[in-house]
Amino acid sequence: MLDDEQRLIQARVSLTQQIDRGSVVLSSQLAGAFLNVPRHPFVPVFYRREGGRFIPWRITDGDAEAWLDAVYTDDSLITEVDGVHAEQAARDGVTGVPTSSSTAPSLMADMLDALDVNEGDEIYEAGAGSGYNAAMLCHLTGDKHVTTVDRSDALTTLARERLNGIGFDPRVIHGDGARDVPPDAMYDRIIATASVRRIPPSWLERCRVGGILVVPVKGTLAGGMIARLTKLPDGTAAGRILHTPAAFMPLKTGTEAEVRVPEIPDSPCRDAGLSGQVLDDWTFSFFAQLHMPHGLIRTYGRSNDGLHVTTLYDPAGGSATRIEDMPEGPPLVTSTGPRDLWTPIEAAHGRWRQLNRPRREWFSIEATPAQQTVSYTAPDGRVHRWTI
């Protein structure tokens, strides 16, 4: 099937039409990229979920048409789970947490449109992943103008091979995407395909004046923000939040130790005004994140009664709070440590409602090496500002 060029063209046309029918209006330049750059060489094996396991799926595993349709569907494809790439996984699959994926093409298109790539622009990509997004960048600007970095040696090796395989030869670096920006280069465009809590100072430094950065900004909650900023002459980068929510996997950087959320002992509790499930509302979660401490962790699951339980933990302050739905009546909040971590979220929800649930695209962002802030200007002219 992969030798049938007409079938592959048909698949790329179908994907481009799917994107164009969605919320992204494709420019002729972007449409040309999706029509000409194939996706399947970058995801020859990917995971599909079966119950609690991730099972590797190859074109040779049964229905080749179904496999090709999945590749050219506007959806993300999981390529790595807990560091195990789909190509190295046993046939019965793995369990764990996804650690790399091929981004949904419509989200790629939205971010590439915001990046506004011109031929000859020097581009830095943090998070090579499968290499598919880097291939798009190569098509748009020319492969000699693209640098892509990934912390996974296996991913960078595969991405380089697959980019070379379709005729592109960008600079592919195995390194820390936040810290290993080549010191000999300045960039017109910087894009991240993994999320960060704050924009790394090295990206601000290596972006030319007038250049554009497109960066997913996210903490512990899903439904993070995608920031689009322009580098100003004074060294500040300023811009807006895109309308599209995104739950990118975090960019791995520095030395990261696994943090265990402690058990919260049964102790005096209080009634909650909100269920922890409110944090799964992506129209609110980005606003809630603005009110959370920098390293706060959220976990969630089900109680023995099958009801929702959210736990918040602040490793820096030592506080932990459990919000547990009850069969009857309001949820219960139980805390240990110096702070009740749910109180600021309840207050943030009230403020969000008072501001008439402002959309993420109405927010601005400003970043310097010293401080990064998100702000919202209400219709009455009052400016609300949060440090991230």
> Could you report the per-residue pLDDT of 88-97, keeping only the tens digit for each?
999 999 999 8
Distance between CA 145 and CA 359 in Å, rounded?
35
pLDDT score at 256:
63
pLDDT score at 47:
96
Whether residue 77 has pLDDT greater than 80: yes
What are 314's strand-pairing partners? 319
CB 248 within 8 A of CB 264: no
pLDDT score at 238:
98
> DSSP character for 144?
G
pLDDT score at 61:
86
Whether residue 265 has pLDDT greater than 90: no
pLDDT score at 52:
87
Higher pLDDT, residue 53 or 100: 53
> Could you report the per-residue pLDDT of 4-23, keeping only the tens digit for each?
889 999 999 999 999 988 87
pTM over cut 0.95: no
CB 124 within 8 A of CB 187: yes
What percentage of the chain has pLDDT greater than the value 70? 98
- What is the mean pLDDT of the segment spanning 129-140? 96
pLDDT score at 1:
60
What percentage of the chain has pLDDT greater than the value 90? 80
Q: Which two tokens mark 365?
A: 């962002």
pLDDT interval class at 258 (50, 70, 90): confident
Range 35-66 burial, b when 16+ CB lie within 10 A, else e: eebbbbbbbbbbbbeeeeebbbbebeeeeeee
pLDDT score at 294:
86
> Could you report the per-residue pLDDT of 31-56, keeping only the tens digit for each?
999 999 999 999 999 999 998 899 99
Q: What is the DSSP string of 276-325?
A: GGGGG-HHHHHHHHTTS-TT-EEEEEE-TTS-EEEEEEETTTTEEEEEE-
> Could you report the per-residue pLDDT of 280-294, keeping only the tens digit for each?
999 999 999 999 988
